[in-house]
């Protein structure tokens, strides 16, 4: 069983929604269902003290189902403790509720996640591209997006 105090409490309150718990290099990752992310986030902030969202990003696991993971790196300023939440998101329904109502800082992180990976956030106050130009097509950090850019031949190596 996991040592992390937050795991037990989260399991108690959201027993149906915790999918997996991973311990790696002393860090705890909790995988939860996407439907309850706002409720879980609010619980983590208000009941367990994870008041600081360090980072939010998406990861594209092309070829697996579900394709995407949205990752929330949380911090508890009082206990100086880190916790990671991951939420699977399917490719054909690449949408998840925004947590910018829970942590205001999520606003720009979610915009970046939309821009780079094409994961959309329901009820987001201002979901526009942030790093790429407004009329850009595609989402560069997807694994099927070529490194050289959309309209370029893939790099064949120097010697060919």
Partner 1 sequence: MAHNEIMTVNMGPQHPSTHGVLQLILELDGETVVKATPHIGFLHRGVEKLSEHRTYHQTIPLTDRLDYLAPMSNNLGYVLAVEKLLDITDKIPARANTVRVMLAELTRLKSHLVWLATHALDIGAMTVFIYCFREREAIMDIYEKISGARMTSNYFRVGGLSADLPAGITDDIRAFAVAMPDHIEMYEGLLTGNKIWQKRTMGVGCIDAAAAIDIGLTGPALRSSGVDWDLRRDNPYSGYEDYDFEVITRAEGDTFARYKARLDEMRESCKIINQALDKLAPGPILADCPKVCLPPKKDVVNSIEGLIHQFKIITEGFKPEAGEVYQGIEAPKGELGFYLVSDGSAQPYRMKIRPPSFVNLQALPQMVEGSLLADVIAAIGTLDIVLGEIDR
List residues near partner 1 by CB under 8 A.
24-25, 27, 29, 51-55, 57, 59-60, 71, 73, 75, 77, 80, 82, 84, 103-105, 107-109, 116, 129-133, 140-141, 145, 147
CA distance 35 to 119: 15
Please identify, using beta-carbon distances, which residue of 8 and 138 lies nearer to partner 1: 138
- Asked if residue 28 lies in contact with residue 22, where contact means CB atoms within 8 angstroms, the answer is yes
- Asked if residue 114 lies in contact with residue 127, where contact means CB atoms within 8 angstroms, the answer is yes
At its nearest, how many Å lie between partner 1 and the CB of residue 15?
Answer: 25
Please identify, using beta-carbon distances, which residue of 35 and 79 lies nearer to partner 1: 79
Give the phi and the psi of residue 12 in degrees, each rounded to 5.
-65, -45
> Which uninterrupted H or E stretch holds 82?
strand 81-89
At its nearest, how many Å lie between partner 1 and the CB of residue 79?
Answer: 10
Please identify, using beta-carbon distances, which residue of 1 and 26 lies nearer to partner 1: 26
Please identify, using beta-carbon distances, which residue of 20 and 35 lies nearer to partner 1: 20
The Cβ of residue 23 has, within 10 Å, a number of other Cβ atoms equal to: 13
């Amino acid at each position: 069983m996991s040592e992390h105090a937050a795991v037990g409490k989260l399991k108690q309150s959201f027993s149906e929604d915790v999918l997996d718990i991973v311990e790696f290099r002393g860090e705890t990752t909790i995988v939860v269902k996407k439907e309850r992310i706002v409720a879980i986030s609010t619980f983590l902030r208000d009941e367990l003290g994870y008041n600081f969202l360090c980072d939010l990003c998406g990861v594209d696991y092309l070829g697996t189902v579900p394709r995407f993971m949205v990752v929330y790196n949380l911090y508890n300023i009082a206990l100086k403790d880190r916790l990671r939440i991951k939420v699977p998101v399917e490719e054909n329904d690449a949408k998840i509720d925004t947590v910018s109502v829970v942590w205001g800082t999520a606003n720009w992180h979610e915009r970046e996640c939309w821009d780079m990976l094409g994961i959309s956030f329901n009820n987001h106050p201002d979901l526009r591209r942030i790093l790429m130009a407004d009329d850009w097509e595609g989402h560069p950090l997807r694994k099927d997006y070529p490194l050289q850019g959309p309209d370029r031949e893939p790099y064949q190596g120097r010697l060919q």
